[in-house]
Amino acid sequence: MTPVEPWRFTVLGYQAGLAQPLFLLMVLVGVALGLLALVGALRRRSRVRALLHERHAERFTPGVSAWRPATQGGLYGLGLALFGFALAQPQCGTKSELTKRRGIDVVVALDASKSMLARDVQPSRLERAKLELSTLLDELKGDRVGLVVFAGDAFIQSPLTSDYSAVKLFLRAVDPEVMPQGGTNVGSALRLSWQVLENADRGSKERVVVLLSDGEDLVGDVSEATEQLKDAGVQVLAVGVGSESGEPIPVFDRRGMFVDYKKDAAGETVISRLDRAGLTAVAEATGGAFYFQPRGVAMSQVVERIDQMQKSELESRVTVRYDERFQSYAIPGLALLALGMMLRPSARRRTSP
């Protein structure tokens, strides 16, 4: 269901609005309930007059009032209408506030090589890596995140941003089948990640590269890239995806149908394995750490480490907040509903035999 946009308007020169205008339907329900109670009371009164003269009605129906049910229904209807208007979150008046966003800069280097199609973790290594990254984005608070995708070469999929939903949108487009060059060029990915961090506006004091990969067939000058990151004070937190026992790499046709497993030059099936030692060496060379959970999500440990780092002011902006006025309608609405519950529809009392 698509959320309804807030209504904004001006009343007597004041900025006003309704944050949840959909709840105005409850106001209509309350008004309809009050009208139905009034109509019902008038019908009952006309029926009594049709059967009995008005002078005899009180004697034959002692304590029975035609207006008490109408009054009770009116209290219910008005109370419901006021309560519905309160739920619509009426706002009147504004105030400006300076909000500051504090966090660190995080660049995620995601391996999108063909070996990430292996299914030794379900549904595949790449999908598990995407799940890990989604977990990271759900847990971060105030940090800026960039996304670098790599195989034989690396490119920026998303610049540093605090809009995590945009990063998730870019993440869905990652596909090893459209990568221009095969291989696992971790060195290129780390160098590009360093460039993203260095070119950041108002960069944070502490910066992190989260490397998601199976680490197999590392190419590129990894040692030079890790030295560059170490000198800049950037830690690499490597998250291993896959299994050390290995799995064949599936090959798919243009329609996404399975064709065969990848073969080497000798015609033998290629078995892809997690390179724990290689990823650990990359992480520890920058003062970082390697994380791996064969049956769970290792990203929660990465989030814990990020939370312990020193946060910096990444951006500040002036935001306009509307003054909430729902209390002015919720309290009277609840009071009217309570009065309606206490009002008896008849003044007739039980008489003891």
Q: Report whether pLDDT(351) > 50.
A: no
**CATH superfamily of this structure's domain 105-317:** von Willebrand factor, type A domain (3.40.50.410)
* Pick from 35-39, 49-53, 189-193, 260-264: least confident: 49-53
Yes or no: say if 83 and 330 are a contact pair by the CB < 8 Å rule.
yes
Higher pLDDT, 297 or 353: 297
What is the three-class DSSP state of 48? helix
Task: Write out pLDDT tens, residues 212-267.
Answer: 998 876 666 888 999 999 999 999 999 999 888 888 888 877 777 878 787 877 88
DSSP state of 261: E
Q: What are phi and psi of 302, to 5 degrees?
A: -65, -40
Distances (CA, A) of 341 to 69, 87, 329: 11, 21, 19
How many percent of the chain have pLDDT more than 70? 84
Residue 12's pLDDT is 76
Q: Report whether pLDDT(318) > 70.
A: no
* Pick from 42-56, 155-169, 191-205, 303-317: least confident: 42-56
Q: Report whether pLDDT(352) > 50.
A: no
Residue 68's pLDDT is 74
Task: Write out pLDDT tens, residues 64-119.
Answer: 566 677 788 888 888 889 988 999 888 887 776 656 667 889 999 999 988 888 88
Cβ neighbors of 306 (< 8 A, separation 6 or more) are 104, 106, 140, 143, 208, 237
Residue 3's pLDDT is 62
CATH 3.40.50.410 intervals, the chain: 105-317
For residue 283, name the pLDDT band (cuts at 50, 70, 90).
very high
Q: What are phi and psi of 288, to 5 degrees?
A: -95, -155
What is the three-class DSSP state of 112? coil
Please state the pTM of the whole predicted model. Answer: 0.64
Q: Would you call 167 exposed, middle or buried from its count of C-beta atoms within 10 A (0-12, 13-18, 19+)?
A: buried
The Cα–Cα gap between 217 and 151 comes to 10
Residue 294's pLDDT is 79
Residue 255's pLDDT is 78
Residue 44's pLDDT is 72
Cβ neighbors of 342 (< 8 A, separation 6 or more) are none
DSSP state of 184: B
- Mean pLDDT, the chain, as a whole number? 82
Task: Write out pLDDT tens, residues 118-164.
Answer: 888 888 899 999 988 999 999 888 889 999 999 888 999 999 988 89
The Cα–Cα gap between 302 and 148 comes to 18
